[in-house]
Chains A and B, each alone.
Chain A
Amino acid sequence: MLSSPRSATDLTSGEAARAAAGLRLVAPDAAGPVIELRGLTRVFRKPLDFAARAANLLGADIREEVVRAVDGVDLSVQPGEVVGLAGESGCGKSTLGRMVAGILSPSAGDIYFEGRRVAELKGQARRDYALAVQMIFQDPYTSLNPRMRIRDIVGEAPLVHGLTSRAELKAYVREMLSRVRMDPQYDTRYPHQFSGGQRQRIGIARALAVKPKFIVCDEAVAALDVSIQAQILNLFMELREQLSLTYLFISHDLGVINHLADRVVIMYLGRVVEEAETDELFARPNHPYTTALLDEIPRIETRRRVYQGIKGEIPSPLNPPSGCYFHPRCPHAMPVCREVAPPLKTVAPGHRSACHLNDRPA
C-alpha cells in the first residue's frame, strides 16, 4: 500500500497526508465490509389496468397493488464471510439478492460496495462493481442460454470486458471449467447436453470468469438432487478458499445454512427479524419466528419439507399486519406487538433481534 517517505521534520504535513489518504482509503480497504446495505427497500407496484381505472370512474375503489418486497434492510458483509439469508417463501430474499447483484434497482436505501455508494458509481467504477458482484441462480435449466455453446456462455463476458483476448479465450474458458471441476473438453457443447448439477457448475464458471469478489447464491442448490447438492456446496467452499470469495447465501434450507454460513440473517415479510453468528443463532435463537423455524428443521430424509407447521398462514405481503409483522402467528404476542413494530436491537454481542420480548424487564 502507500509507503510515502517520511521525515521527522515533515511530520505534520505527513500526518495530514495520511489522514487525507486514509479518508479515501479506509473504505475500499479490506478493513471495511465488502457489501453494506442501508435501509435497502424495494417496492413492486402493479399499476391499475384500463378495466380497473374504468371501474374506479364508476365508483369502484380498486387500489394499485403495492408490495414492499424488501423493507429497510440494513446488513453488512465482511470480506471472506459467508452470510446465510433465510426466511419463508416470498419474504424478499431473492429481491434482496437481485438488488445486491445489480439486477434490480432499489426503490430506496443504499448499497455500498467496498465503502462506496453504488448509486454514485459511474463508468469504469460502475462496471467494476457490476462484475465484482455475481449471482448464481436457482434454476439450472433457465439460467443458461439454451442456444449458446458453453464456451460462449462462459467466455462472452470476459471477452466483452477485455479480461481475456480472442486468442486466449479458449484457454481462459477451459481454465474456468476446470475450476468448477468440469471436463474442459465440454466447451463446445450446448446446455441441454448436461445434467442439472453440471449446468449449475457452468453457471458458476460463468460467474467466476469475470473475477468476482462477492457472490450471491440464490437457492443455488435447491433444484438439485440431495447427493448433487453436497457436491455443489463443497465446490462453493473450495472456491471460497481458493479465490477468497465472499458469499451471500440465500436458502430456505436452514440445514444447508447451518453447514455453510458464518452468520445468519432471518427475514420475515421483507424485514430482517434476527441476525447472529451461526452457532449463536442455532444455539440461542432470540426471535419467536426464528425459534419456530428452527423447530421446523427437518431431518435429512425429509429435507424438502421445510417450514410446515408454523401456525397460521404467511400474511399477504400486499397487506401486511400492523406492528410486528409476526404477531398474528406469534405464540408470545402481546398488545404492544399489534401497535408498534419492534426495531432490531442488540441482545448479545453480534446478535440482533427485533422483538418486544427483549424490552421486558428481565
Chain B
Amino acid sequence: PETNDANLQDVLTPEIVSPLLKDRDVCNALFPHLPDNAPLDSQSIEEVLRSPQFIHSVNSLTYALRSGALGPLMAELGLDTSISTSDGAVVAFLRAIQKKEDDTMDES
C-alpha cells in the first residue's frame, strides 16, 4: 500500500512553507493555531516548523494515516473519500485536501 507514498515531514518543511509566509493573509490564517503565548509573526511559525514537538506530531499523523486513521480523518474534515489510495495513505490524504481546495475555488 505505501509503495509510492509521501511523508508529511517532507511536505511541511520550512523550505517549502517559508516563502508563503511573506503573504500576510497566510500568516493570519496560521496564527490562531499556534500554541498560547507564541509570538504572532512569521519567525515564530518557522521556529514551530523546526521544533521537535511539531515534527513528532507530523510523524505521528503520517503513521496514523497509514494505520487506519485515513478514513476517519477524511470524514472528519469533509474530504472526498473516493480519492485513490494506490500510492499510499499520505498521498491520498494530501490529494483529497487539494481537491477540496480546488472545489472551493471553483465555487467562488
Partners in one complex: no
**CB within 8 Å of B: which residues of A?**
none
